[in-house]
Amino acid sequence: MTGDDELASLAVLVVNYGSHDVVEENLVRSLGEEFPGQVVVIDNFSTDAEREAIAEACAGYGWTLLPLPTNEGFGGGNNRGAELALSRGATELLLLNPDAWITLPTIRRMQQQVRADPWLQLAPTVLRPDGSLYAAEVDLHLAHGEMRATSRRPADADPARIHTWVSGACCMLSADLWQRLGGFDEDYFLYWEDVDLSHRVVLAGGSVRVDPALTAVHDEGTTHRSAGEERAKSPIYYYYNTRNRLLYAAKFLPRTAGWRWVRATPRISYRVLLQGGRRQFVHPRRSLWPALTGSLDGIRLWRARSAAPRR
């Protein structure tokens, strides 16, 4: 690497919560040990032992540790890390989940595209470790708040009734675009903050895109799969996915459209649950109950926000 390496002005942001071993393994796999840019590991506090372990890993590789006194969630953690990276001169930000990895050539090609179009939010195709598709461009259909892959968009679909987004598991934005947006909306805490961010990119006049020639890998289960289950997800996953769907509706949709989302909530929440398989239903406190409470809290948020005057 030389001092003229363009990657020197790139910052990689990773938010950690209780998974220092996963962070270390995947960052080394992605960046090697001589990455010229900034690496900022934001540690949402979980335990003293975890804080010590992630601090030791960061010190060993020369990464910057940003220790937060509490758990500020995915959006809040990335926002704090971006503030630090931008203050140190970063011109692009690569957001990378702790359970995801990428290659340096892919990072370089992403940076080249974002530099050519600073109003672009760019993501690679994200694969699972077995090579199956985890995420590409995704359409949020506004009729009832359902998600479908953009590749499966019906030919007669109305683009005005769709919000397209890319996964925050791995994406890159310019510093200028990030600052224009103000980063993530921290009302979400976990999940749907990337859906929100992509929509605000478009509202600001930018574009959201996946480059199908580039790939990253996301081993989602290493951070929130239930112990002993191959498919089941955590109660936190079910709670915030069902809650934040309705929070998004309250933020972006008129009341009539949002009411359609509310009425579709039982059906959509059940589909969220099915992502973890039916076997998990024998443990309703880890699956059905979080989805129910998330749905009810989401409806309360929607009612409160939709009743308030819009600015």
The pLDDT profile of the chain, 311 residues, written as one tens digit per residue, is 445 799 999 999 999 999 999 999 999 999 998 899 999 999 999 999 999 999 999 999 999 999 999 999 999 999 999 999 999 999 999 999 999 999 999 999 999 999 999 999 999 999 999 999 999 999 999 999 999 999 999 999 999 999 999 999 999 999 999 999 999 999 999 999 999 999 999 999 999 999 999 999 999 765 554 444 455 688 999 999 999 999 999 999 999 999 999 999 999 999 998 888 777 777 788 889 999 999 999 999 999 987 776 55
Q: Which of 207, 219, 289, 298 is nearest to 251 (CA)?
A: 298
CA distances from 227 to 72, 128, 220 (A): 24, 19, 13
pTM score: 0.92
Chain region(s) in the chain for CATH 3.90.550.60: 6-224
Instruction: State residue 228's pLDDT score.
Output: 47
What pLDDT score was predicted for residue 283?
77
Question: Which DSSP state fits 70?
Answer: S
Q: What is the CATH number of domain 6-224?
A: 3.90.550.60
Q: Which residue has the tokens 């940076």?
A: 111
Calpha distance 286→280 (Å, rounded) = 8
Sequence letter at residue 177: L
Secondary structure (DSSP) of 2-64: -TT-GGGGEEEEEEESS-HHHHHHHHHHHHTT---SEEEEEEE---HHHHHHHHHHHHHHTPE
pLDDT at 88: 97
* Per-residue pLDDT, 1: 40
Of 206, 197, 220, 200, give the one whose Cα is nearest residue 135: 220
Q: How many Å apart are CA 19 and CA 219, to the nearest integer?
A: 13
Assess contact for 114 and 122: CB atoms under 8 A. Answer: yes
The residue among 244, 214, 189 whose CA lies nearest residue 137 is 214
Q: What pLDDT was estimated at residue 256?
A: 94
The tokens describing 76, both together, are 């809040």
Residue 256 belongs to what H/E stretch? helix 255-263
- Output the CA angle 119-125-199, nearest 5 degrees: 40
Tokens of 238: 């079910």
- Report the pLDDT value the prediction gives residue 232, as an integer from 0 to 100: 66
Separation between Cα atoms, residue 100 and residue 106, nearest integer Å:
13
